[in-house]
Amino acid sequence: MDAKRMFDIVFAVTGLLFLLPFFFVVIILLKCDSKGSVFYKQIRVGLNHKNFELIKFRTMYKNSEIGGLLTVGDHDTRITRFGSWLRKYKVDELPQLINILRGDMSLVGPRPEVLKYVLLYDAFQKKVLTVKPGITDWASIQYIDENQLLANADDPEKFYINTIIPSKITQNLKYIDNHNLWVDLKIISYTIKRIIFR
């Protein structure tokens, strides 16, 4: 077991134990806010093109994904009232600590994408699939308000495909070529600061 994997496991176990009471509160509020399951699971593409089931707290009304994969702006009508708060502070992403324990993800690494957009990657961009995806990365920090950028675009999906995805992959490839435990700790620290002081 390498140092990165060991760090991921220790962080995930500690985080889940520490957050357990908070998770119970979130689950109760989710149930009170809208009908549907507590968790939302979506197939993403991970290491070496392997599909896995990414876990989040549900932030949208039931069957809302029929309206498209992208959420646009803070006032997307598919997002529940409580779901909007969960998204703002990235609380919806916390169940991915379970994905880390399963070995699907790492704490830090390129954010996993859905197959629809991965199929658009060129040969060079596919290098992002040579490492485990993560909960956060440099691109997540840069695009913490991605939904608002999409809301301001004339064609959100075209903007996502032609501008955001290439930019994110550029950041991810730089991370792949230059990462270590110290870099991971910096990314985690910057992510927390951006969430708190956004």
The total of structural domains in the chain comes to: 1
pLDDT tens, position by position, 150-191: 988 999 999 999 999 999 999 999 999 999 999 999 999 999
Q: What is the pLDDT of residue 170?
A: 97
Backbone Cα Rg of the chain: 16
Alpha-carbon torsion angle 90, 30, 66, 88, nearest 10: -20
Q: What is the pLDDT of residue 5?
A: 96
Grade residue 129 by pLDDT with cuts at 50, 70 and 90: very high
Grade residue 74 by pLDDT with cuts at 50, 70 and 90: low
Alpha carbon of residue 155 to chain centroid: 22
Q: 5 with 36: CB under 8 angstroms? A: no
Stated as kind and residue range, the H or E segment containing 45 is: strand 39-45
- Report which of residues 164 and 76 the model is more confident about: 164
Grade residue 89 by pLDDT with cuts at 50, 70 and 90: very high
pLDDT tens, position by position, 39-64: 999 999 999 999 999 999 999 998 77
Cα gap 33→61, rounded to integer Å: 10
Q: Which domain holds residue 139?
A: 3-197
